[in-house]
Chains A and B, each alone.
Chain A
Amino acid sequence: MEQLFIIFFSVVVINNFILAKFLGLCPFFGVSRELKSATSMGLAVIFVMTIASIVTWFINRYVLIAYQVEFLQTIVFILVIAALVQLVELFIAKTSPMLQRVLGIYLPLITTNCAVLGVCLLNIKDDYNLIETIIHGLGAGLGFTLAICIMAGIRERLSVCRVPPSMQGFPLSFVIGCLMALSFFGFQGFFTH
């Protein structure tokens, strides 16, 4: 239980996927202009990350390792994620129009989100069992949502401020990212081991 809590807490804040591991930066800067779309993006990422973690864990265990073709990991994982996203999209469109409205356009974007492939690769690299994999996937998604929502909140406020023309848009967002990473850095000493 303690182990699970450490995995969860460390992936949400200490080793936050965006601010400490640099995974999923494209949506972090691209979809953080307003809080509403940032939240939807975050929800879609939590959803896909958790499912992708579980599915790739089974595929790794019962297909790749069983047939000794681990070198195909990258190809198989990215194709599985792409197929999975399509499937989830179809499923949501059929069953829940409400979710479809919220997540709609963000789901296809997730296929090329490196955070999703990253979380699947890290699960395998760190040799997690199924429960740890689920916690890690869920935590990574939550950490992503936390960071992108804070970013969107700050950028909404900044949109009414006057900034030097050369720093507008991306450059300023990166500097904000720096300040956020700096403050998240404060969590670093949380677990001593």
Chain B
Amino acid sequence: MGFGAEFYKGIFKENPSFRLVLGICPTLAVTTSVENAIGMGLAATFVLLGSNIFIALLRNFIPDKVRIPSFIVIISTFVTITDLVMAAYAPDLHNALGIFIPLIVVNCIIMGRAEAFASKSSTGASIADAFGMGTGFTLALILIGSSRELIGNGTLLGFPILFSSFKPAVIMILPPGAFLTMGLLLGLFNYISRKRSS
């Protein structure tokens, strides 16, 4: 498989949020607005990229028995870097995302890619895979975030979009709205892929 294919598979066919249903905690928690969604997506992509590169480079040196703890150390190093950089340069976003930044450590997407892909593949393929999965994750977050922000607040990226007599359904930016949006979007994705395969 070429690098292009490794990249594209993360966007629809193996989209981490909608097809594999991994890393749902941040997907639901931070998507109250598009801005938070983009911030979370970029942070996770950076960690994924860093950990995939390092794990792919070290894959022949890490003994099989201690691979999981080693992966955790590599991943949490990158999470700490992200956490500190964000706190310094984007304090508002850092506040909005709260404990979900340190929690990227236990995001199943990153551990899953390390275990299933980076520990078995070349560095180049791992980079393509990380970019694909990261983009897929970011796009999924943006999709959920924009539907929630649009219906729940009537805005996109903070700009009012809908006509002024629109009464926002606040429930969409509260926790129940997250579950509902995710459930309906997952149903839609299932429907599309069933249609495609038949």
* Closest beta carbon of chain B to A169's beta carbon, Å: 8
Which residue in chain A gives the minimum CB-CB distance to B190?
Answer: A166
Interface size class of B (residues with CB under 8 A): 35 or more
Cβ contact within 8 Å between B176 and A175: no
Cβ contact within 8 Å between B21 and A29: yes
**Residue B3 at the chain A interface, CB threshold 8 Å:** no
**Residue A172 at the chain B interface, CB threshold 8 Å:** yes
Cβ contact within 8 Å between A172 and B183: yes
Given the contacts A23-B25, A122-B99, A177-B179, A82 and B190 also touching, CB distance less than 8 Å: no
**Residue B73 at the chain A interface, CB threshold 8 Å:** yes
Cβ contact within 8 Å between A78 and B72: yes
- Please give, as numbers and ranges, the residues of chain A lying within 8 Å of B111 by CB-CB distance: 112
Cβ contact within 8 Å between B191 and A166: yes
Cβ contact within 8 Å between B103 and A82: no
- Please give, as numbers and ranges, the residues of chain A lying within 8 Å of B174 by CB-CB distance: 185
Q: Which of A54-94 contact B (CB under 8 A)?
A: 71-75, 78-79, 82
Cβ contact within 8 Å between B183 and A175: yes
Classify the interface of chain A: helix, strand, loop or mixed: helix
* Closest beta carbon of chain B to A89's beta carbon, Å: 14
**Residue A189 at the chain B interface, CB threshold 8 Å:** no
- Please give, as numbers and ranges, the residues of chain A lying within 8 Å of B73 by CB-CB distance: 75, 79
* Closest beta carbon of chain B to A154's beta carbon, Å: 13
Bound-complex Cα distance A117 to B104 (A): 11
Interface size class of A (residues with CB under 8 A): 35 or more
Residue-by-residue, is B134-153 near A (CB-CB < 8 Å gives 1, otherwise 0)?
A: 00000000000000000000
Cβ contact within 8 Å between B28 and A171: no
**Residue B48 at the chain A interface, CB threshold 8 Å:** no
Cβ contact within 8 Å between B190 and A171: yes
* Closest beta carbon of chain A to B154's beta carbon, Å: 21
- Please give, as numbers and ranges, the residues of chain B lying within 8 Å of A25 by CB-CB distance: 24-25, 28
Residue of A21, A82, A178 touching B176 (CB-CB under 8 A) = A178
Which residue in chain B gives the minimum CB-CB distance to A175?
Answer: B183
Cβ contact within 8 Å between A182 and B106: no
What residues of chain A have their CB less than 8 Å away from a CB belonging to chain B? 19-26, 29, 71-75, 78-79, 82, 112-114, 117-118, 121-122, 125, 164-168, 170-175, 177-179, 181-182, 185
